[in-house]
Amino acid sequence: MTDYGVEDAPLGAGLPPDDIHAVSVSLPRWEDAEGWARKDDKTLKAMKTGYPRFFIQPLIQRLAEELSNVLEELLIEHSFLYVDTIKILSKFGMNDVIVYGFGNASELDELEERLKSGTRIAALFTEFPTNPLLTCIDLHRVRRLADRYDFVVVCDDTVGTSINVDILQLVDVVVTSLTKLFSGACNVMGGSAILNPQSRHYGKLRNILSDIFKDTYFPEDARIMARNCADFPQRVKRINGNAQDVATLLHSRADLVKHVYYPSIGPSKHFYDLVRRPDGGYGYLLSVEFVKPAAAVAFFDALRVAKGPSLGTNFTLACPYTLFAHYGEMDAVAAYGVVEHLAGNSSMHYARTESNVHQLGGPTLARTSQEVLKGKANPLDKSFEKLVGEALEEWHVPGLSIAVIDGDDTWAEGYGSATLDSTPVTPSTLFYAGSTTKAFTCAILAMMMESEDEKKRAPSLSALGWQTPISSLVRDDFVLRDEWATAHLTLEDALSHRTGFPRHDRALALHYGDDHHPATMRDFARSLRHLPAVAEPRVAWRYCNYMYLVATHVIQTLTGRWLGTTMREWIWAPLGMKSTYFSLEDAQAGPEDLASGYCWDYRNGGGYGRVPFMGLAGTSGAGGIISNVLDYARWVRCLLREEGPVPKAAHAALKTPRMVMPPDSQKGFDAPMAYALGWMASTYKGHRVYTHGGGMEAYGVEVFFFPDLDYGLVTMGNTSITSNVVGQLMAWKLINDKLGVPEEERWDWEGFAKKIFDEMLAAADGAVDRLYPGRADPPLPRALPLGDYAGTYFHAAYRNITIEVIDNSDGIGGKRELKAAREDFVWKMTFEFEHVSGEFWVIYGEPRGSGGVRTQLGKAEFKIGSTGKVEALEVEFFQDGSEGVVLFEKVA
């Protein structure tokens, strides 16, 4: 018996130890793996056994020696060649092999075009999910193609396992390596092929296999395999949880980890979920790519687990995959994302406890971090943590996460609570990203103009680019009150907020039409014809979410698909943004924690109130993203370096200022800001800076990046407005420290924030005097009984306002007599009406989740007709100034 376990097995020892049938071998250090791949004599001499694909097992060697005494000639080739699926196919006579190395939608498009052109194929071979990048092909689409063009689909489910996924319904043949997790003991070999009895090819395939099959499986191997697989379902369920825990932990460390490849956090998760069994997990295998090769080596060497080739063992096994599998062809496989320092971990078969995961996240990642961050100090240190904690308490924000991007390095931390009393914020915690979505929408349009990929370019944008009139793209849908504006407003006008339209956010309904169908981008675009502009085009900067919804409609019309899919395929997936979502449902289904939203009750003495999650169908390209600071750090680095999937020309277009913003936008910058495309641009201490915030009902995000410094920051929090305040305060602290700005030269962001916040808290105070300074004194009585003003009023864009009498007329302050709840709208809000004089009223709009901070005001006048009854309601809302006059007709 040996005196060591799988975690500390010496170089060359069999895994598992003390088993003469072991099918893996210990290579405990990265340099051992390199020596094995290079066929280094010292390493090879230490090998007592090896992985059967590359090594002749000792028992077989002994058998060969004995047979050599009987047979005069026996040729044995001893080599360490890696034979992948393509080479196996070629070896068995299928020399005309087409390789699609990514398995994504674009390659399926290419395959379909090839098939349409007349190319015939015999079979398509794939894995589900693939090894080592754990991607999942769209098997439903493959099935449709196979049925249409009559080819066989063969799929290997070794990594997914039949316990987690049900793929037989979509393929003709399922093959499985039983050597892996099915056995788990790593001491016996076997394989299986299962034919789909519903397949049109079943009869032919069954006859072929029946003709060639010979039962050569050694009876003792069969007995051992049967014994090993008895608890296969239980082991799979346990390992699913372990692997998910480790994947989530590694994914949270953007400072060290560039990519984690695991089905639950990958861009193809949707395709996995389509075949995942009701109680299935995401498997036992994951791969990790670190930000620096040195980090991969340090991580591998520091791991206290077994290390060697194979996967699916009853003990956690790690291996430097590319060294083992593709040492002689690393340049070729790197083109498919299989980089040299890719590390694979399989099985994750330690007990699923917090302490074990902490051990991985503690000393192992700490040592890895030392290799990555040599010579740099982490700005998110203990003193900064104290500062954040104090700010969260002062501004009543439950939690905040921050990422700092500085050259090649990224630091990220979470502070406070994602959900009070239960879940802390970590760098992987998800938050609503709000208007920072706009930059992605602009980037998609830029790629449609500038990409060299013909599949992404939109011919209708090629001639005029950003100067393309919107009406030329969605002619029937983009019709405004002003004919000139209809004909001449361009994409550039819409995306730089210079159309002359105000926000009109209150007009965004969740349902439209007589059939009450869910709102579409087309509905939003068409409702603009009923809304007033408040300035001439290209004269004044007026922030307008509506125009980004119009841009979303343009993109979806030209691409023929949902904007979320385009963002994921064109930007998020190439950047490794696997925790970024475009719907609440997808975010909730993901492995990350979605922070709960809160508001502090400023009006009634304090205390947190939880705000329900907000649906994103009505915010889309204006504010439809949910993400975390780790993914946004990848996006910021793309913008800083002008690399990745966005073409250089598109980067330049996004950053070009288009419209000067008001003078009060200067704040602490060197000059007033200008709006580019989804970004506000200025300079700070002589350095170019781009920034944008985002706010939702109970969330706030801030993004900054300085191209000249290769430096950026992201903050995300879970309250409205106040998390933006804390994010800005912390960001400017870090920025000023980075630049070495003396304390006396730092702009007073905190003083400015408190002044603005106090004004917001007092917005309702004196509203009557501000909105009606010349009103009658004493005020005129209203003409009708209070109940006559109640009823439903309709506007073609703003939809219904149903007004009710406030019981006992004791609204806030005791003066508000009417109310209207706006629930069927993107931005849920309650209106309360205070009588001023005659038929004139003040409207106090309280958005959901405001806690009394974001009171929005409006002027209202009830119109009494010749019948002596109320016939209409004329309203002028105010947000960032007047939003124009809107007339609601009384309909009930």
Give CA–CA dist 85/92, Å, rounded.
11
- The predicted model gives 454-466 an average pLDDT of 94
What is the length of the chain?
A: 892
- The predicted model gives 429-446 an average pLDDT of 98
Q: What whole-number percentage of the chain has pLDDT above 90?
A: 64
Q: What is the residue whose two structure tokens read 């000639």?
A: 73
Asked if residue 436 is part of any domain, the answer here is no
Higher pLDDT, 524 or 216: 524
683 burial (CB, 10 Å; 0-12 / 13-18 / 19+) is middle
Least confident of 277-281, 290-294, 397-401, 682-686: 290-294
Least confident of 244-253, 499-508, 523-532, 646-655: 244-253
Residues 554, 599, single domain; the answer is: no
Asked if residue 496 is part of any domain, the answer here is yes
- Where on the phi/psi map is residue 767: left (φ > 0), alpha (ψ -120 to 50), or beta? alpha
Residue 815 has pLDDT above 80, yes or no: yes
Banded pLDDT at 29 (limits 50, 70, 90): confident
Average of per-residue pLDDT values in the chain: 87
Structure token digits, residue 511: 């349902």
Answer whether 530's CB lies under 8 Å from 797's CB: yes
Q: What whole-number percentage of the chain has pLDDT above 70?
A: 88
pLDDT at 332: 65
Higher pLDDT, 183 or 676: 676
In our burial notation (b when 16+ CB lie closer than 10 A, e otherwise), range 44-61 reads eebbebbbebbbbbbeee
pLDDT digits (tens, 9 = 90+) for 611-628: 999 999 999 999 999 999
Q: At what angle do helices 139-149 and 105-116 cross, to 10 degrees?
A: 0
pLDDT at 647: 96
- The predicted model gives 483-491 an average pLDDT of 97
pLDDT at 173: 95
Residue 135 has φ and ψ, to the nearest 5°, of -90, 160
pLDDT at 663: 92
pLDDT at 358: 38
Asked if residue 573 is part of any domain, the answer here is no
Asked if residue 411 is part of any domain, the answer here is yes
343 burial (CB, 10 Å; 0-12 / 13-18 / 19+) is buried
Question: To the nearest 10°, the Cα dihedral for 358, 364, 370, 372?
Answer: -100
Residues 634, 530, single domain; the answer is: no
- The predicted model gives 828-832 an average pLDDT of 94
Residues 120, 199, single domain; the answer is: yes
> Can you spell out the DSSP letters for 555-606?
HHHHHSS-HHHHHIIIIIHHHT-TT-BSSHHHHHHSSSPBPPEEEE-TTTT-
pLDDT at 88: 59
The tally of domains found in the chain comes to: 4
Residues 408, 349, single domain; the answer is: no
- The predicted model gives 742-767 an average pLDDT of 92
Banded pLDDT at 834 (limits 50, 70, 90): very high
pLDDT at 573: 95
- The predicted model gives 639-661 an average pLDDT of 96
> Can you spell out the DSSP letters for 214-277?
-----HHHHHHHHHHGGGHHHHHHHHHHHHHHHHHHHHT-TTTEEEEE-GGGSTTHHHHHHHB-
Residues 316, 244, single domain; the answer is: yes
Higher pLDDT, 727 or 364: 727
Among 679, 690, 444, CA closest to 551: 444
Banded pLDDT at 702 (limits 50, 70, 90): very high
Residue 558 has pLDDT above 70, yes or no: yes
Banded pLDDT at 292 (limits 50, 70, 90): confident
Residue 62 has pLDDT above 80, yes or no: no
Give CA–CA dist 884/827, Å, rounded.
19
Least confident of 201-215, 386-400, 572-586: 201-215
pLDDT at 87: 57
Q: What is the residue whose two structure tokens read 């999910």?
A: 129
Structure token digits, residue 146: 């196979």
Answer whether 327's CB lies under 8 Å from 41's CB: no
pLDDT at 60: 61
Residues 237, 291, single domain; the answer is: yes
Residues 724, 595, single domain; the answer is: yes
Give CA–CA dist 617/627, Å, rounded.
16
Give CA–CA dist 305/242, Å, rounded.
14
Q: Is 707 helix (H, G, I), strand (E, B) or coil?
A: helix
> Can you spell out the DSSP letters for 371-400?
HHSTT---SS-HHHHHHHHHHHHHHT-SEE
Give CA–CA dist 853/706, Å, rounded.
32
823: domain CATH number is 2.40.128.600
Residues 409, 542, single domain; the answer is: no
- The predicted model gives 700-710 an average pLDDT of 97
Higher pLDDT, 241 or 399: 399
Instruction: Count CB atoms within 10 A of the CB of residue 662.
Output: 13
Residue 160 has pLDDT above 90, yes or no: yes
Give CA–CA dist 795/884, Å, rounded.
14
Banded pLDDT at 423 (limits 50, 70, 90): very high
Answer whether 304's CB lies under 8 Å from 175's CB: no
Residue 39 has pLDDT above 50, yes or no: yes
- The predicted model gives 286-308 an average pLDDT of 84
Residues 4, 50, single domain; the answer is: yes
Residues 358, 392, single domain; the answer is: no
Give CA–CA dist 822/842, Å, rounded.
17
Contacts of 560 (CB under 8 A, 6+ apart): none
- The predicted model gives 172-178 an average pLDDT of 95
pLDDT at 49: 78
Residue 261 has pLDDT above 80, yes or no: yes
Higher pLDDT, 328 or 525: 525
Least confident of 92-96, 411-415, 637-641, 700-704: 92-96
pLDDT digits (tens, 9 = 90+) for 373-397: 455 688 999 999 999 999 999 999 9
* Parallel, antiparallel or unpaired: strands 711-717 and 699-706: antiparallel
Asked if residue 821 is part of any domain, the answer here is yes
pLDDT at 851: 79
Give CA–CA dist 703/691, Å, rounded.
5
Give CA–CA dist 829/856, Å, rounded.
10
Contacts of 512 (CB under 8 A, 6+ apart): 519, 520, 523, 527, 799
Residue 587 has pLDDT above 50, yes or no: yes
Residues 738, 852, single domain; the answer is: no
Residue ending a domain, among 760, 794, 829, is: 760
Structure token digits, residue 490: 């361009």
Answer whether 542's CB lies under 8 Å from 502's CB: yes
pLDDT at 773: 94
- The predicted model gives 746-750 an average pLDDT of 94
Structure token digits, residue 18: 């003390």
CA–CA distances in Å: residue 65 to residues 44, 50, 61, 70, 75:
20, 18, 6, 9, 11
pLDDT at 82: 29
Higher pLDDT, 538 or 760: 538
CA–CA distances in Å: residue 463 to residues 448, 450, 473, 559, 649:
12, 11, 13, 18, 15
Residue 55 has pLDDT above 70, yes or no: no
Answer whether 788's CB lies under 8 Å from 880's CB: no
- The predicted model gives 120-147 an average pLDDT of 91
- The predicted model gives 489-494 an average pLDDT of 98
Contacts of 804 (CB under 8 A, 6+ apart): 790, 818, 819, 820
Give CA–CA dist 651/646, Å, rounded.
7
Residue 357 has pLDDT above 90, yes or no: no
The 123-127 sheet, strands edge to edge: 123-127, 152-156, 173-177, 191-195
Residues 48, 180, single domain; the answer is: yes
Count Cα atoms within 13 angstroms, Cβ side, for 542.
26
In our burial notation (b when 16+ CB lie closer than 10 A, e otherwise), range 199-227 reads bebeeebeeeeeeeeeeeeeeebeebbee
In our burial notation (b when 16+ CB lie closer than 10 A, e otherwise), range 697-709 reads bbbbbbbbbbbeb
733: domain CATH number is 3.40.710.10
DSSP 363: I
pTM of the full predicted structure? 0.67
- Domain containing 872: what range? 767-890
Answer whether 477's CB lies under 8 Å from 469's CB: no
Asked if residue 674 is part of any domain, the answer here is yes
- The predicted model gives 423-451 an average pLDDT of 96
Structure token digits, residue 298: 């340090």
Asked if residue 574 is part of any domain, the answer here is no
pLDDT digits (tens, 9 = 90+) for 63-112: 555 544 443 332 222 222 223 555 555 554 444 677 777 777 888 888 89
Residue ending a domain, among 332, 354, 374, is: 374
Residue ending a domain, among 705, 727, 760, is: 760
Over its C-alpha atoms, the chain yields an Rg (Å, rounded) of 32
Residue 330 has pLDDT above 60, yes or no: yes
AA identity, residue 461 = L
Residue 179 has pLDDT above 80, yes or no: yes
pLDDT at 813: 45
Give CA–CA dist 692/189, Å, rounded.
57
Give CA–CA dist 719/434, Å, rounded.
12
355 burial (CB, 10 Å; 0-12 / 13-18 / 19+) is exposed
In our burial notation (b when 16+ CB lie closer than 10 A, e otherwise), range 686-695 reads ebebbbbbbb
Higher pLDDT, 290 or 510: 510
262: domain CATH number is 3.90.1150.10
Q: What is the residue whose two structure tokens read 């995306």?
A: 495
pLDDT at 8: 78
Give CA–CA dist 244/242, Å, rounded.
5
pLDDT at 69: 45
Answer whether 28's CB lies under 8 Å from 10's CB: yes
Host H or E run for residue 491: helix 491-495
pLDDT digits (tens, 9 = 90+) for 223-257: 999 999 999 999 999 999 888 988 888 888 877 88
Asked if residue 569 is part of any domain, the answer here is no
Answer whether 216's CB lies under 8 Å from 232's CB: no
pLDDT at 743: 93
Residue 655 has pLDDT above 60, yes or no: yes
- The predicted model gives 304-322 an average pLDDT of 83
Residue 764 has φ and ψ, to the nearest 5°, of -80, -20
pLDDT digits (tens, 9 = 90+) for 841-887: 999 999 988 877 878 999 999 999 999 999 999 999 998 889 999 99
